[in-house]
Each structure stands twice: as structure tokens, then as C-alpha cells.
Structure 1
Amino acid sequence: MAQGDGETLELPSLDQMQHWTRVIGRAQQMMLERASQAVSDAPAHVPGYPMPFDPQTVAAIQSEFANEGMALWQRFLDSGGLMAKEPAPAPADSIAARKDRRFSDPAWAKHPLFDLIRQSYLLASDYLLRLSDAVDGVDPKQKAQLRFATQGLVDAMSPSNFPLTNPKVLDKTLETGGENLLKGLKHMLADMEKGQLTHTDGSLFELGRNVASTPGKVIKETALYQLIHYAPTTDKVLETPLVIFPPWINRFYILDLSPEKSFVRWAVEQGISVFIVSWKSADATMKDVIWDDYILKGQIDAIDTVRDLLDVESVHTVGYCVAGTTLAATLALLAARGEEAKVKSATYFTAQVDFSKAGDLTLFVDDEQLKLVDQLASPGYLDGRYMAATFNLLRGRDLIWNYVINNYLLGQDYPPFDLLFWNGDTTNLPAKWHKAYLADLYRDNKLAVPGGITVDGTPIDLHRIKTPSYIQAGQEDHIAPVSSVWKLTEHFSGPLRFVLAGSGHIAGVINPPSLGKYQYWTNDAPVATLDDFVAGAKETKGSWWPDWLAWIEDMTPAKVPAKGARKPGKGKLKALEDAPGSYVKTR
């Protein structure tokens, strides 16, 4: 059977190979027939009825599909068909010549049968996607939903996902006598039992030991959050402390992973008094919690708590993702109340306030989806596993099918990865808040409209925010696209610094200087659009964290001794328990 280089693969029999050849050819023919039928079924005779496809566009797509299909077969026959030692190379400009990690094993390209399977699939999937793009006369959102669904379908249909059409799986099965499939079945049954796809070996990580291990104390606990104060490691600290608000759709320790990746630990080492909010995972007691609670009883309460504890006028703040959206609403409320001086600066990690360009997540927000949220949230909260599944769907090829192949089909052990451990540590959400968030922000985009949303009876207007803002976006972010994060600059009135980081929603944020990874872009010239920013941006290799630190220190350079209330539990608020606290451990 297939070896690692794909050169010694032995075919079962000529009859079997000829059977697969007929199957692949028939599949291509069925695709063409179905597309033609879809066009002919369109009721074009009805005045005003929109054609599902533009006939000329479909005809052009069909013609290209047929031509490339014929060219594929011709190359196959010219090279000697199934009896060839190796397939004829695909033209450099063809679909089959594109790089695709799913087919990185050499056997896909070196053996005629698997090369034919691979090229036929890529040709058919490209055809389906182009056909979905050719749909005409429907709402743009419906068209985007169709495109997303089609992409999910073709990803699921990949021959790499099936044991009989994946040479690496076939090789492994013969090598182990099928033990890989038994081990994979064990993995799959375990995932079915817990209702969640496993990405890493969770037994290798322990909260407080090798993740969420930065020393500190829980100094306050409410029905909504625990407040953690981290122990200083420098003799002096910045007078203005930092309060971090992580998203409550995830555990807070994304910002305190392993010691070498921890933003919290790094910030403490730079001489900053760091506090972080650990949100409570929702249960039935939180069925009436709404967004106002996260603003008033969460963020503002935590800000006031730290101000009072350290006897300072203001604090620096960080809001990550949804907590950044909420931080903007918090600042707008404080501005309306004349209390904006409580916050010296606001840093936004991949946050959005205007959802007009919010990307693929908007495809999951319509009336039917909101009804589904109601059905899934019968205890008054939404099980975090549903949110995890949604985020996995956004990158199904990487976060679903890649693990199906490696862990179910190949039976591989799960790799140790702290970020994936965090990703699988789901958090429940208050149902009433979650539904309102989806409807008011993602669907109706009310926060972007002055007065569109009220908090505690006060209309919110983001344009009233004059607090200095550091806005970080991820170049490859699929959850908060760069164009969506940029819109923060269009709504705030205070001084702004926009930084575009390499990578995406997580790795673009969690990028410590010690790793020397990625890069970031800045542009100190006044620019009105994202395109202008990119056109004049300066690239800097490595982490953007030092740039943020310089921004903070330039604004508030004063330092004070790290003693008294600057040490966890030594001020007005006594230590309740060691960090990372108990809320992060509740399931």
C-alpha cells in the first residue's frame, strides 16, 4: 500500500481502479447535469420572477468546467492512466496546481489514482463555489449564506476526509492492522459523549500550574465576576493601574496562558499594576442578566473598585473582543454622565462597535437563528459548547476536518497546546443578554447609531468618547475583520492609535516579544480610511506589545513604590483566594 512518499503504492486490482475511474467520471457528469437542470427549472416565463442564475454566467462556468474536465482526463490518458508510474503534471495556472494543505502528502500528486481524485475534487468544488456566486436576484446576505454553506459542503466532501480516498489513512490502516481506526473511534465516541470536538489533551494542563499561573489574589467577588490583582515583580509600578476586561464568551486566561505567552505576566514585569476580571460562567441564576449588567455591575464597578483601592483618579483599560465592544459603551455612558475622567485610556483588542462589516458571523444572525437560541437556552443560559461549534464552523477546514482526519481516521494522539486547551474550555452565556447582543448589534447594528441603544436609561453615543484609544486589529482575523475593527476610528472623537498586527483573532493578540513572531503595521500620518492607513503603513517585525507599552508610559509616566495596596490583599480589599480563582473553574 502507499508509503510516505507515495511511490510504492500497490493497487488492489485493475477492476477496482477502473471502477473508481468510472465513479469519478460519473460524478463530474452529474454535476454538469444538475447545474443545467437548475437553470432550466427557473420559471423565466413568470414576469418579474428573478432567475436563480444568470444564464450567460452559468453557461460560461459550465463551459470552463467541461473544458478543464476534459483536459484533466486527457492528461490522465496521455500519462498512461491507472497503469502510469506517475501522473502528468497539471498546468501551472490550473485549479489543481494550487497549493492546498489537505493534499500535502506526496501520494496525492505522485500516484495517478489519487492525483485524479484530488484534481477531480478541486475542479468540482471550484465549480460549485462559482455556481453559488452566480446566483442572481437574491438578497446579498442570502447570497453570502449560500456561499458559506457551499464552502462548508465542499470542505466536508473533500476526499481527504474519508479513509478509502485518503492515501495516508490507507497506509496507516494497513501499517497498524486497523488499530488507528479503533483508536479514532474511541476519540470520536468520547467527543460524542461530551458533545464537543477535542483539539488537545486537556489532562496536560492545570489551571494555576501551567496555564493561568501568574501569581495574584482574588480580591473581590460579585454575582457576575471575580476581580484578580496580580503581585508586582518590580520595586516601582506605574501610578495609573491597568484593568483588563476579557470576553465573557471565553475564559479570561487567554491573556494568561503559559508563562512565556502570558500578556498579564509580561505587563506585570514591565512595572504595571494589573487587575483582570474573571467572569462567572452563566447558570440559571443569571437568566435575567442583560448587557447593562456587564456595563454597570461589571466594568464600571471594577473600574471604581480599583480606583478606590489604590486611591487614583483614573485607570487604563483593555477590552478584548465583546468586552471591547462593551468597553466602548461603558465609556460612552461615562461621558454622558460627565465621568469620563475615571478612564485614562482604552485599549481595544480585535473589538467591534459598528457591525456593518462584521464578516461571516453575521451569517448566523437572522430570525431563524434567534429562534434557535431560544430553543437551546431553555435553562436561561446558552451552553458554551454551541458557541464553540459556531466558531469552529467559521474555520471548518482547520478546526473540524483537520481533527477528524488526524484524530478519528489516523488515530493520532492529541498534541499539547495551551491555546487549544483554552479554546475548548467553554463558558455559558446568559440567554437574554446573548440574544439581545446578536439582535441589537450584529443584526440591527444599533450601537453604531447615536441613541440607538440605551444603558440604564441613558442613550449611548460613541462620538462622545474622547478617551485616548489604542485600537489593535488582526490582519487575518475571521471573527473581527480588519475593516470592521477600523470602524472604531470613525466613531470615537479622542486621540487614536491604530495598529494592525500579523495573524488573527488570537495569535495576533497573544504574541509576546520573546517569541519574535509575526509583525505589525503603524502609520503616524493622519489618514481617513483603512486603505490610506495600509498604503502608508510602516512594518515592524515582532510583537506590537512594546509599542503599546510605550504608548501607555508616554501618557502616564509617573511611578510609585510597589507596596501597601499595590500588593494583592494588603489594602482595603483582603485576599479571598489565590489566582486564578474559583469562577474560572466552574463549568
Structure 2
Amino acid sequence: MTTNSSDTGQPSAEALARMTENLTKVEGLRDRLTAVLANRNTHQASLDGPNQELFAKAAKAYMQEAMTNPAKLIEHQLEYWTKSVTHFVEAQQALARGTLSAPQDRTGTDRRFTNPMWEKHPYFNFLKQQYMRNSEALAQAVEDVEDMEPHEKKRLKYFSRQIIDMMSPTNFLPTNPDALQRAVETEGESLIKGLENLISDLEANHGELIVRLADEDAFELGGNIATTPGKVVFRNRMFELIQYSPTTEEVHGTPLVVFPPWINKFYILDLKEQNSLVKWVVDQGYTLFMVSWVNPDASYRDVGMDDYVLDGYLEAFAQVKKITGEKRLNAVGYCIAGTTLSLALSLLKQRGDDTVKSATFFTALTDFSDQGEFQPFLTDDFIEGIEAETKDKGILPSIVMARTFSFLRSNDLVYGPAVKSYMMGETPPAFDLLYWNGDGANLPAKMAMQYLRGLCQRNELAEGGYDLCGHHLVLDEVDVPLCAIACETDHIAPWKDSYRGVQKMGSKDKTFIMTQSGHIAGIVNPPSKGKYGHYTNKDLTLNHEDWLAGAKFTDGSWWPRWEKWLRKRSGAMIPARIPGEGGQEILCDAPGTYVAVKARG
């Protein structure tokens, strides 16, 4: 790349032309940025962080500790000062030797600092080492706070971790060697592209900054994702019902209906042919129905959990029975849809309705006594902020949930992608899982608050019962044969909490499987990959630690084990059912229309 005239040392005409072009772009981008910020949709300020009371309590507790045990505080301060001063002296000595080298680095490795300059260049190494020491000191200070309630201490740890992650030198252009090198190599073009990416993300979310994780232009619903053939055979205000086309000459008589979470889109189970649970189930000889939930707008503000049960679950059951002519069916609920499936089963029990022959729960919580990593967001200040937001907008916008989930893994889902997109000017990758992750759905105002207050905060279903649809619903009345799959590293529905809820269910026929990996990869784990194994133990009377200690580990996917369990409860083989046969109306091809509705802002 020619940047200077060979005879004068001045920038070449070509370089000046590129610079002028870049400056012209800046003018246009500035106008776009001003416009999007001027018309930015606002949200409740309380959703951006905890109220100041948390930090005030922490400061008070820290000062009390300093007064009652000053030696401990002084010891930690001296340790931090000693490390910092020693680091400074070693850096000075390295420079005094006249070589551009860094002193010995004792801070360990971190995948944010993979560029060799973090280790070899004295400036960047000094920044990295000092950041690591500052992080350690802050984490230790939080750990030393003792006079706080456990749930407040947990929140303090979470939000202090967010501050530590945010302040990483990799997140700022002057202290990120990768971004600086790219800017020099591209004569600033990477920064222009980064600014374009930033403004595009702001425009896509009405001024809210949500980092785009995937190249949205690389995917088409029904084109290269969500491609399993099927037909939409029913639609109401809550969902579309997809019946998938058979791939076998015969199928099991008992149909299977899957309820995905309405926080996200159903096609996580049908991303592509190689890892599609939908296709795999159809290929095993089952008549499979999928519920595709509506993506609600403000007109759904008064839709509650009862609407999801009555107009969602029970209506889907009725339609599947009508279409197939069967009196009974098997049901699957994933995440919040599994929680709600347990409510529907208790309701059916009280009504004397045996429609559901068996139930499968994918990473579903029914006992929220341990709120896990979501505990920082389930305190009154945040819930009150969400309540104000839903009253204002009629929905809990998908971007609120997206931010919450993302900051549970902030380096992977916020700062890392932001650096690549905004400072390096890179186009987000064409990654189907990340595309799905960014294709969220809104929640109706009433439903969101019922779920957060009654189920998450007060844990009513597991502790006495949950009032819904004119009934008092309890876990003990979930007495159909059930299979629950939980994931070992799930940070959304921890496996031990899922296990505890299953223990409280009334069924005498229970199977519990704990698969390796997390909330998504643990479920979307096709046998062909041979990637993650799973644990089983028939004794569900044990606490979760003893259950795992006595569990048998099996290599490979849990899908075949579950299918074997399902097969025993799915009846004799019959001729395959074709969507639309018997005069059933076909509304459109899969994946339908509801799944295509985007939730922006």
C-alpha cells in the first residue's frame, strides 16, 4: 500500500484521495449518528444498573470491616501497592536497558490479550499487567465485604465484575494494539467501517445499542435455516401450528407437539439439516407438530400466563387431536415453555383430562428458590423498573432481555463482538446460532410481570401453588410419565434447580438426564457430532450432588436415549400422516409467518 510520494516524503495523491474519501464518509456518518440519537427510544433508567443503595451498603460494610479489622485492610492495600510499585520499577528498568521489551509478566493468561504486543511491548504490557492487578484488587475488596445479606453480596459481585470487564484496555482504541494496527494498515478505513457498524446497530434498535452478533444478510428463514418441510395447519392470535411432512412410510400413532420458549424463536431446534432436532425426530418416524409463538406488540399488553395456557397449550392440544384423530399426545416444553407445560398439566389433572400421555422438559425450571445468575436482576429495584417499562410500552421489549442475557457473558457477547465490529471494522460472522440469538421476541406486559413476580421472585408454583385460570396449580399434580433434560453448564436454568423441580413433581415415572454443555449446545446436540455426553441415574430421591456422584456417564448425544424412552409411549406404527390430508386447511408453508416478525425496540 503506497502512502507516501517516493521523492518528497509527502503523502501520495492516492493516499490523499483515500483520506478525503474517508473524511467525506465521516460527515455523512455524523449526520446519521445525530439523527438516530435525536430520535432514540428511551427506557427506564433503573434497567441500566442497580440503585445506589447497593453500593452504599457495600461501602458501609467495607468501612465497618476496616474499623473492626484494620490489619486485614492494610495488608490487602500494601499487597496491591507493592505489586503496583514493583511493576512500575520493573518496567522502568526494562526501558533503561535501552531495549523495547517488557518486564516479566506474572499475571497469567487471558484470551482477550492474545496479541503478542501485550507480552512484548512495554507500553501494552504495562497496561495489561496493571489492569489485571486492579481487577484482582477490586475482586478481593468485594470478597472481603462481610456485613451484607448473601443476595446483596451476590449482586455486588456481579456488578463489580461488570465494571472490571468494561474497563479492560482491550475495549478502548488507544490501548488496543489490534485495533491500532488495523487502523494503520487500512489508513483509517477500519475505523470508518466500525463507525458504520455502530450507527447501523443503533438504527436497527431505535437508538439502543445492541451489538449485532451475526451477519443478518447471510440467512433466510425457510431458505438456509428453518428448512425442514412442513405446513402451517392452524393459526390463532397466540401461535401458528406447524405440522412437519413425514420422511418415513410409517409413523408412531401418538403425535408429538413441541412448545418452544416464546422469549426466542422456535427455529433453534431447526437451524440447519445437520443439527436439526426437528428433522431428526421426523426421521425417527414421529408425527411432529411445532408451536410458533406470535411476536407480540403493544396490543398484547393484557395477555397473561392464562392466555398462553388456554389459547396456547390447550388449543394446540385440541388441534393436534383434531388433525390426527388421536385422543392422546406427547408434549415437549423448552425453558419457560417447560415451566408453563407443568402449569398446563396441573390444570388438566384438575379437569380430569388425560390428553397428555407423557411430558418432556428441556432445561425447564419449576422451582426458582435458587435464582442462579439471574438473581441480580430479580430484586425489587430491577423488577420495578421492568414493571414501569411494560406499563409504558405494553411489552417487555426484546432488547431488554437481550441485554440481560448478554451481560451474563459480557466479554463473549458484548465487549468482544463490539471491539471486532466497532474498532476493527469487521463484518459480523455468518453464524446461524448467533443470528438466532439476535432474533428475539417481545413479552406481553401482563405475562412478563406474572412470570417475574409470581414464579421467579415468589416461587409460588414450588412453594404452595400458583393461581391461574381459576385454579390453584401445584407441581405434585404433574403426574404423567416425564423425562427431563438439563444441561451441566446451563447459566439460565441450572441443572440442579431443574432437578429439584422434577423431584417435586408427582409422577411415579420420572427420567432425568443431565447433558454436558449449556442451555443451547446441550440441547442441540445431534448424535452425528459425537460431541457431548450425558449422565443418568434412576434414583431421584438423592440430592443433586449425590445423584451426580452416582450417575453413569455415556458418551454422545442424549437424543437416542430420549427417543427410546419416547418410543415406548408413542403407540403402534401407522401409515405416515401427510399435512392437509382429510381436508385439513393448509395456511402456508413452514416455517410460517409469525416467526418472520422482527422485534426491534
TM-score normalised according to structure 2 size: 0.85
- TM-superposed CA distance for 1:59, in Å, is 3.6
Determine whether 1:491 maps to 2:504.
yes
Q: Displacement, 1:456? A: 1.4
Q: Matched residues in 1 for 2:263 and 2:547: separation?
A: 31
Secondary structure at 2:580's aligned position in 1? Answer: coil
Cα shift at 1:39: 12
Instruction: Tell me how far 1:222 sits from its aligned partner.
Output: 0.7
In structure 2, list runs of 5 or more residues that go unmatched: 1-55
SS in 2 for 1:555: coil
Contact kept in structure 1, 2:65 and 2:145, CA below 8 Å = no
Is 1:87 the equivalent of 2:102?
yes
| CA RMSD of superposed structures (Å) | 2.4
Q: What's 2:23 paired with?
A: none
1:482 paired residue among 480, 487, 495? 495
2:170 is paired with a residue whose SS is: helix
2:153 matches 1:143: yes
1:227-242 aligned within 5 A: 227-242=241-256
Which runs of structure 2 are paired with 1:20-419 in the superposition (5 Å)? Answer: 42=60, 55=70, 57-73=72-88, 75-77=90-92, 79=94, 83-91=98-106, 96-97=107-108, 99-195=109-205, 196-339=210-353, 341-377=354-390, 378-419=392-433
- C-alpha spacing 1:533/1:542, structure 2 compared with 1 (3 Å): same
Aligned to 1:11: none
SS in 2 for 1:171: helix
Partner SS state of residue 446, structure 1: coil
Q: 1:408 to 1:303 in 2, by over 3 A?
A: same
Aligned pair partner of 1:576 in 583, 587, 593: 587
Query: CA deviation digits over 1:340-373, x for unaligned, max 9?
Result: x311221111110111112122311233223322
Q: After superposition, give the CA deviation of every residue in 1:362-394 in whole Å (9 maximum; x if it has no partner).
A: 311233223322332324222212211111111
Q: CA 1:490/1:43 → structure 2, altered by over 3 Å: closer, same or farther? A: closer
Matches of 2:374 and 2:87 in 1, distance apart? 37
One-letter code of the match for 2:515?
A: A
Verify the 8 A CA contact 1:54 1:134 in the aligned structure 2: no
Deviation at 1:85, TM superposition (A): 4.8
- Deviation at 1:558? 2.0
- What is residue 585 of structure 1 aligned with on the other side? 596
| 1:54 and 1:136 in contact (8 A); partners too | no
* Aligned-pair CA distance for 1:181: 0.9
Distance (whole Å) between structure 2 residues aligned to residue 140 and residue 80 of structure 1: 47
The question of whether the paired residues in 2 share the 8 Å contact of 1:52 and 1:137 is answered with no
**In structure 1, how many angstroms separate the alpha carbons of the residues matched to 2:485 and 2:66?**
43
Tell me by how many angstroms 1:217 deviates: 0.6
CA drift of 1:70 comes to 4.2
Q: Secondary structure at the match of 2:485?
A: strand
Aligned partners of 2:61 and 2:145 also within 8 Å: no
Q: Which stretches in structure 1 are left out of the alignment for 5+ residues?
A: 1-37
Cα deviation digits, residues 133-157 of structure 1 (max 9, x gap): 2223222222211111111111000
Contact residue 282 and residue 430 of structure 1 kept, 8 A: yes
CA distance in 2, matches of 1:78, 1:382: 56
The separation in 1 between residues aligned to 2:424 and 2:213, in whole angstroms, is: 14
Give the secondary structure class of the aligned counterpart of 2:332.
Answer: strand
Identity %: 39
2:554 pairs with 1:540: yes
CA gap of 1:458–1:526, structure 2 versus 1, over 3 A, is closer
Output the CA distance in 2 between the equivalents of 1:414 and 1:474: 28
Alignment of 1:432-581 (within 5 A): 432-451=446-465, 453-494=466-507, 495-525=509-539, 527-556=541-570, 558-562=572-576, 566-571=577-582, 573-581=584-592
- Contact 1:215/1:579 (8 A) holds in 2: yes
When the two structures are aligned, how many residues end up with a matched partner?
A: 537
Q: For residue 483 of structure 1, report the CA deviation from its aligned partner.
A: 2.1
After TM superposition, the score normalised by the length of structure 1 is: 0.87
| Offset at residue 84 of structure 1 (A) | 4.1
